[in-house]
Amino acid sequence: MNDLSSLKAVDIVQKLSQNQITKEDVRGFFNKRITDLDPYIHSFVKVFTHLSPADTGLGIPIGIKDNICIKDEEITCASRILNGHRAVYDATVIGKLKQAGFLIMGTMNMDEFAFGSSTENSCYGPTRNPWDITRVPGGSSGGSAAAVAARLIPWALGSDTGGSIRQPASFCGVVGFKPTYGRVSRYGLIAFGSSLDQIGPLTTNFVDCAYLLNVICGHDPYDSTSAQVDVADFSKSLIDNVEGLKVGLPQEYFRQGLNSDIAKAIGEVAAVLKGRGAQITNISLPHTEYAVATYYIVGCSEASSNLQRFDGVKYGLRVKSSELLDMYKKTRGEGFGPESKRRIFLGTYSLSSGYYDAYYVRALKVRTLIKRDFEEAFKQVDVILTPTAPTCAFKIGEKAEDPLSMYLSDIYTISANLAGLPAVSFPCGFSKGSLPIGAQFIGRPFDEEILIRMGYTYQTVTDFHARIPLVTHG
* Active-site residue list: 65, 140, 164
**Residue whose C-alpha is closest to residue 108's, from 173, 164, 54:** 164
**Cross-strand partners of 283:** 250
Amino acid at 209: C
Amino acid at 22: T
**Is the separation of the CB atoms in 142 and 128 below 8 Å?**
no
* Cα distance between residue 140 and residue 142, in whole Å: 5
Which helix (H) or strand (E) is 428 found in, with range? strand 423-430
Burial, 377: exposed, middle or buried (Cβ in 10 Å; 0-12, 13-18, 19+)? middle
**Is the separation of the CB atoms in 169 and 175 below 8 Å?**
yes
**Interacting residues of 60 by C-beta distance below 8 A, sequence separation 6+:** 9, 12, 13, 16, 26, 102, 103, 154, 155
Describe the strand order of the beta sheet including 279-283 as a list of residue ranges: 44-47, 103-108, 61-65, 155-160, 198-203, 175-178, 423-430, 436-442, 383-387, 246-250, 279-283
